[in-house]
Structure 1
Amino acid sequence: MSNWNGNWESFARDAELAAKERLNEVDRISESNQWKVIKAFQKHRVSDFHFNSSTGYGYNDRGREVLDEVYAEVFGAESAIVRPHFVSGTHTIGIALFGVLRPGDEIVFVTGKPYDTLHKVLGHPGDGTGSLADWGVGFTFVPLLGNGQVDWEGVKAAVTPRTKVFAIQRSRGYDWRPSFTIQDIEEMVGKLRSIKDDAVIFADNCYGEFTEEREPTEIGVDLIAGSLIKNPGGGIAASGGYIAGRRDLVELAAYRLTAPGIGGEVGAMLGTTRSIYQGLYLAPLLVGQAVKGSVFAASAFERLGFETHPTWNDPRTDLIQAIRFRSAEHLITFVQAVQRAAAVDSHVVPEPWDMPGYENPVIMAAGTFIQGGSLELSADAPIREPYIAFMQGGLTYAHVKLAVRQVIEDMHSRNLL
C-alpha cells in the first residue's frame, strides 16, 4: 500500500528518519575507509611528481609503480596492477582469469551463473572467439540454493582434479539475491580451502569496494579484480581497472595484459595518473554517498509498497539496489525517470534495446560524466519477468534523492502508484 501523500518534503523526511541508523553506519564506514586510503598514500610517500605522465613504453614511471603499491596496501594484497588500459570490469576479470588458467584447467563458479557480460568470455568449445572454452578451459556454475546461499554439496560434486580456480561474484548482478558480505566471503574461503586447498580463489569485486571496512583480499581471497569507472575510480578516473592479490597471480595477469616477460614493467599512463590517484582518494566518500542513496531509495520505495532487495535496514556490501515492480510499464517509467533526473543527457529518453553481451532487451539510464561510470547514478533492467530494476551509484546523496523524487512524480502522473 502506497504512503505517497503528494508532499515530497514530508515523505522524504519520514523515509530518511526511518533509515537514520543505517545512514549513520554508512558514514562511519566511509570515514574509516577514507583514513585507510590516506594512510596508504602517506606510507608510500605519494608526491606531486608521481602525477607526471609517461609516453611510449612507459619505462621508469615511478608514479605508476607507486600507484600499484598504494592499491596493494589499500586492498591488503601482496601486489596490484592498476591501469587505464583495462577497458571495463569484464575485460579486467577476463585478463585475471586468462592469466591464471591454462588449457585443461577448470573454473568453478560457486555463486551461480556469473554476470551476463562474462558469458562470452567463458564461451563454448570451438567457438573461434578465443574464449576460455575455446582455449580448452572448462567451467561449471553451481546454482545457489533457494535462500541465496552457496550449495556446498553442489560445489563438492563439481570439483575435479582439473579444478584450478574457484570464482565468487560478490555483487548480485541481475539476480534477486543477497550480495555476499565480507563475512560471507570469509566463510566461503574457509570451506573452499577444505575442499581443494591448492585452488586459486578469485572474487569479482565490482561494485563492492569501500562499502565495508575490509576487502576480499584481506580475508583470504587470492585474487580480485574491479573497474575504475565503478567504486575505486571515485567518479574521476576516465577508464581503467585493477587486479590485486597474491604476487605470483598478479604477475600472471600482467603478462596477459601486456606480454610474457614484460608484464607490469611498462605501460604509458598517458596523462591519467593524477585522476586515478585522486579518484582513489575520493572513492570512500563518494561510495558512501552512493550507498546512502541506495538506503534512502529502499526506504522510500518500501513506503510506496514495492519490494526492495536489500531492504533499507539490510547490511550493505555493494552499490546495487534492486526494486521489484509489478509491470514492464513500472520498470520503464522508473528507468526513464532516473534519466530525467540526470545532470548530463537529462533530455534523452532511454528505450529497451538489444545490448551486446546481454540475453534480453535492456533499458539503461546513464546520464554520466564518464561513459558507463557506475559510481555515478545509473539504472538498468532487463525487460523480463519478474520486473526488477537495478539502481546503482550517485556521486552525491542529494542527486539520488532527486532521482527518487522524479520517479515518484512520474509514476504518480501515470497512475502507477
Structure 2
Amino acid sequence: MNEITEKFLLKEYGISEKVLLLHRKALKEVEGMFEYYDGIREYNQFKVLKAFQDERISDYHFTNSTGYGYGDVGRDTLDVLYAKVFKAEAALVRPHFVSGTHAIAAALYGVLRPGDTMVSVCGRPYDTLHSIIGLAGDEDTGSLKDYGVGYVEVPLKEDKVDVEAVLDILQKDPSVKMVHIQRSTGYGWRKSMNIAEIEEVIRQVRSAREDVVVFVDNCYGEFVEEKEPIEVGADLVAGSLIKNIGGGIAQTGGYVAGRKDLVEKASFRLTLPGIGGEAGSTFGVMRSFYQGLFLAPHTTMEAVKTSVYAAKLLELAGFVVLPKAEDKRTDIIQAIRFGVKDKMIEFVKGIQFGAPIDSSAVCEPWDMPGYEDQVIMAAGAFVQGASIELSCDAPIREPYIAYLQGGLTFDHGKLGVLIALSRVIS
C-alpha cells in the first residue's frame, strides 16, 4: 500500500497505526511466497484454456434449455470439459446440486449399497456429512445408516492418515466398498491433505485392495496445486461450484468427476435410474458456468494469497494459525485459533463489515441446518454462501477457531482481514 491508501484506511475505516504496522511487515514477508502460487495459477490457467480450445467452445454452448432439457449441448459439453480438466473419464456438472455436500451425497448414495462399508480415513468428516452418514443421531431420515451402509472412522495419527490402521481394516473387512478422503480440514485443527499425501494413501490402499473405490471430497482444493486427485489415482471426486471451481461467477451448482461408471451411478441419485444426466434443463446458467471455470485458476489464487497474508498478519498479532504462511497450500482455508469466544466473534463480524454486500449486517451465532453447534458466518457475498468470496465461519465451541476463506481479489481480502483484526486488537 502506498501512503495515500494508508491515509484512506485510517480515515475511512479507522484502521489503527498499530494494525498498519503489522500489515506492512506481513506483506513484506509474504510477497516472495506469492511468486510460487503465481506459477501454479499460470499452469492451471493454461491447462483450462487448452481444454476450452480442444473442445471448441463457442457461444452456442451458452444454451438456455427448459423442461426436460434433452439434448442440451452446453450442459453435455461442459461435462466433457470438466472431465478433460480433471483428467477424468466423465463428469457431471449441474445447477441442480444445491451444494458441495449434495454432490458428495449423490456420489456416496450412488456407489454404496446395503451391506457395504465406507471407511473415513481422515477421522470425523465435515459436520454437514454427519446426517448423511447417520452420525447425527436422527432416525429414519434416509441416511446411509438407515439403508444398511456401514461406517468406520479411522482417527488421524499425528495429523496424518493412520495407514496401518486403514490397511488392517481393508484386509479384515471384505464389506469395505469405499475409502473416503476429505482433502480439506472441515472444522478440525490440522493441515489439509496435499496431493502428494493423497497419492501415497491411494497407493497404499491399492496395495491392499484393488476393488475399493477411493472417493475424495475435493471442496476448497481445486486449482490450488498443479494436479487434481483423479490424476493420482482417485476414482471419484466431488465439489461445489460456489467454491474454487466456479470462479466467483457460478451462482449455484456442484460437480462429480471420475470413473465413467461411478459418475453415472451418482447421476442416478441426482435424478433417477434410467435418466441420470440425460435430462435436466439449465435455465440459462451455462455462460456463467463456462466463464467461472475459465476464471477459476486466477480467482482461486487470489483467495490463496488472502489466506497466506492472513496467516502471517494474525501470527504477527499473536494468534496461532494453521497452516502457517510458509506452509504449502492445498486448499483456500485459513484456520485461526482465538482461544476466546468474544474475540473470535468480533473477528468474524469484522469480515462481514468489510464485505461489498450487506456490510451493514451484524452476523450472530445461530442454529444452522446440518451443524451440531451454533455457527457464526460472515458471508457478504454476491452469491449467497459462496466461500470463494471472502467469508469466515466458526462453530461456537472451544478452542474457538475461525475458518477464513475466499477473496475474489487479494486487495479486498487484504482489507477485509485488516478490518477484522482492527476489531480484535486496539
Offset of residue 296 of structure 1: 0.4
2:402 matched to 1:374? no
Query: What is the CA distance between 1:206 and its match in structure 2?
Result: 0.2
Alpha-carbon distance between aligned partners in 1 of 2:300 and 2:381, rounded to the nearest angstrom: 16
Whether the 8 Å contact between 2:64 and 2:282 is mirrored in structure 1 is: yes
Is structure 2 residue 345 aligned with structure 1 residue 329? no
Pairing of 1:13-412 with structure 2 (within 5 A): 13-123=24-134, 127-145=139-157, 147-159=158-170, 160-412=173-425
- What code does the residue aligned with 1:69 have? V
How far apart, CA to CA, are the structure 2 residues paired with 1:363 and 1:210?
28
> Matched residue of 2:177: which SS?
strand
Question: 1: CA distance between counterparts of 2:334 and 2:312?
Answer: 11
With over 3 angstroms needed to count, the CA separation of the structure-2 counterparts of 1:9 and 1:305, relative to structure 1, is closer
* CA deviation vs aligned residue, 1:52-91 (integer Å, no higher than 9, x gap): 2111111111111110000000011010010000000111
Q: State the percentage of identical aligned residues.
A: 56
Q: Distance between the aligned counterparts of 2:395 and 2:138, measured in 1?
A: 29
Deviation per CA, 1:3-57: give whole Å up to 9, x if none.
x982554432221111122211111111111111110000111011000211111
Aligned-partner SS, 1:379: strand
Q: Which amino acid aligns with 2:77?
A: V
State the distance in 2 between where 1:103 and 1:153 align. 27
Offset from partner CA, 1:158-188 (integer Å, 9 cap, x none): 3311000000000001000010000010101
In the aligned structure 2, how far is the partner of 1:44 from the partner of 1:340? 42
Once the two structures are TM-superposed, the CA of residue 153 in structure 1 deviates from its matched residue by 2.5
Tell me the distance in 2 between the aligned counterparts of 1:263 and 1:84: 14
Give the distance between the partners of 1:326 and 1:141, measured in 2 at CA. Answer: 28
Between 202-211 and 28-37, report the one with greater CA deviation.
28-37
Deviations 1:217-257 (Å, cap 9, x if unpaired)? 11110000000011111111111000000011101111111
CA displacement, residues 289-344 of structure 1 (integer Å, 9 cap, x when unaligned): 00000000001011111111000000000010001113111101110111110111
Maintained 8 Å contact 2:167/2:204: no
Query: Which SS does the other structure have where 1:402 is aligned?
Result: helix
Distance 1:394 1:95 in 2: 28
The alignment of Structure 1 onto Structure 2 pairs a total of residues equal to: 409
Q: Is the 8 A contact 1:126 1:133 kept in 2?
A: no
Structure-1 separation of matches of 2:167 and 2:233: 20
Cα distance in 2 for residues equivalent to 1:256 and 1:380: 30
Deviation of the 1:123 alpha carbon: 1.1
Contact kept? 1:289, 1:395, Cα under 8 Å = yes
Unaligned runs of 5+ in 2: 1-14
- Counterparts of 1:372 and 1:115 in 2: how far apart (Å)? 16
Structure 2 CA distance for aligned equivalents of residues 354 and 59 of structure 1:
40
Instruction: Say whether the 8 Å CA contact 1:142–1:158 is kept in structure 2.
Output: no
Q: Following the alignment from structure 2 to structure 1, what is the Cα–Cα distance between the partners of residues 310 and 211?
A: 43
Supply the distance in 1 between the matched residues of 2:53 and 2:417 (Cα, whole angstroms): 39
TM-score (norm 2): 0.94
State the SS of the aligned residue for 1:184: helix
Residue pair 1:44, 1:70 contacting (<8 A) in 2 also: yes
Query: How far apart are the structure 2 equivalents of 1:192 and 1:398?
Result: 42
Instruction: Judge conservation of contact 1:126–1:134 (CA < 8 Å) in 2.
Output: no
The answer as to whether partners of 1:338 and 1:404 remain within 8 angstroms in 2 is yes
Distance in 1, Cα, partners of 2:65 & 2:16: 58
SS at match of 1:63: helix
The residue type paired with residue 177 of structure 1 is R
Query: Aligned partners of 1:412 and 1:179: how far apart in 2?
Result: 28
Give TM-score scaled by structure 1 length: 0.96
- Deviation of 1:157 after TM superposition, in Å, equals 3.4
**How far did residue 267 of structure 1 move?**
1.1
Query: Which moved further from structure 2: 380-389 or 200-209?
Result: 380-389
User: Aligned partners of 2:293 and 2:308: how far apart in 1?
Assistant: 23
Q: Please tell me the residue identity of whatever aligns with 2:140.
A: G
Query: What is the CA–CA distance in structure 1 between the aligned matches of 2:401 and 2:63, rounded to whole Å?
Result: 45
Aligned with 1:411: secondary structure?
coil
Where do 5+ consecutive residues of structure 1 fail to align?
A: none
Structure 1 residue aligned with 2:12: none
